[in-house]
């Protein structure tokens, strides 16, 4: 009658998570201090008190150390999307699902800005970031209400476009140094797409 699942998974899971968080914190600091390119895995490992080998057991790549949390957001995002009412248009459902993301760091815009700038400043990091979003995309497409055939481009088109709007809004947010709310910018972006039909059909 082991009550291991009493407190968020087994003890190993919890220590593992704690380890990850700590290494992430160390890496974030180092990246900020001296740039991502100038920071080696060796250095992160040394500073965090583990071996290079073990580092790669926790994180698949060097960049993952500050991006894994994004990947972890995927399931929650897909769940939020799936939980929207069946009759609602997918575009609206996607917009509402993104509320989950907008809550993150809502109270610490400075951190979000720093993160955003780190992404833009490093091509490799940016590429990994897009990898994570690709996984979001796959999850969201899989969570599509009435599944259509694989030959139908529409679900993927809508999901990927929504994510594109999300990124555009983030970029605009960073460009104006966070002076305009992210919700506002995302609404503007996604509404601009929604307005296409009404504009071209007249």
Partner DNA sequence: ACCCACTTTGGTACTGAGTACCACTTTGAG
Partner DNA sequence: CTCAAAGTGGTACTCAGTACCAAAGTGGGT
Positions that interact with DNA (CB under 7 A): 2, 4, 11-12, 16, 19, 39-42, 49-54, 56-58, 60-63
65 near a second copy (CB under 8 A)? no
Report the residue number, 61 or 191, with the smaller CB distance to DNA: 61
Q: Of 161, 164, 139, nearest to 79 (Cα)? A: 139
Contacts 24+ apart (CB under 8 A), 109-114: 109/178, 112/178, 113/174, 113/177, 113/178, 114/32
Number of residues that bind a second copy (CB under 8 A): 47
x/- letters, 70..109, toward a second copy (CB under 8 A): -------------------x-xx-----------------
Q: In angstroms, what is the C-alpha Rg of the chain?
A: 19
Confirm if 106 and 94 have CB atoms less than 8 A apart.
no
Report the residue number, 65 or 90, with the smaller CB distance to DNA: 65
x/- letters, 132..171, toward a second copy (CB under 8 A): --x---------------xxxxx-xxx-xx-xxx-xxx-x
Contacted entry of a second copy, DNA, none for residue 189, CB cut-off 5 to 8 Å set by kind: a second copy
Question: How many angstroms separate the Cα of 4 from the Cα of each of 12, 52, 135?
Answer: 10, 30, 30
């Amino acid at each position: 009658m082991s009550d291991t699942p009493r407190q968020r998974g087994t003890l190993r899971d919890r220590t593992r998570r704690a380890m990850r968080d700590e290494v992430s914190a160390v890496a974030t600091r180092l990246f900020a201090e001296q740039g991502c390119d100038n920071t080696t895995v060796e250095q992160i490992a040394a500073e965090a008190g583990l071996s290079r080998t073990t580092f790669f057991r926790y994180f698949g790549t060097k960049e993952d150390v500050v991006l894994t949390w994004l990947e972890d957001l995927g399931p929650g995002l897909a769940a939020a999307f799936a939980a929207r009412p069946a009759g609602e248009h997918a575009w609206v459902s996607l917009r509402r699902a993104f509320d989950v993301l907008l809550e993150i760091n809502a109270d610490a815009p400075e951190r979000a800005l720093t993160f955003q700038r780190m992404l833009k400043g490093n091509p490799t990091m940016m590429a990994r970031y897009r990898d994570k979003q690709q996984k979001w995309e796959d999850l969201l497409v899989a969570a599509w209400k009435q599944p259509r055939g694989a030959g139908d481009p529409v679900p993927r088109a809508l999901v990927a476009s929504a994510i594109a709007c999300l990124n555009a809004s983030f970029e605009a947010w960073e460009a104006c140094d966070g002076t305009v709310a992210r919700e506002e910018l995302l609404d503007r972006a996604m509404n601009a797409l929604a307005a296409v039909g009404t504009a071209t059909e007249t």
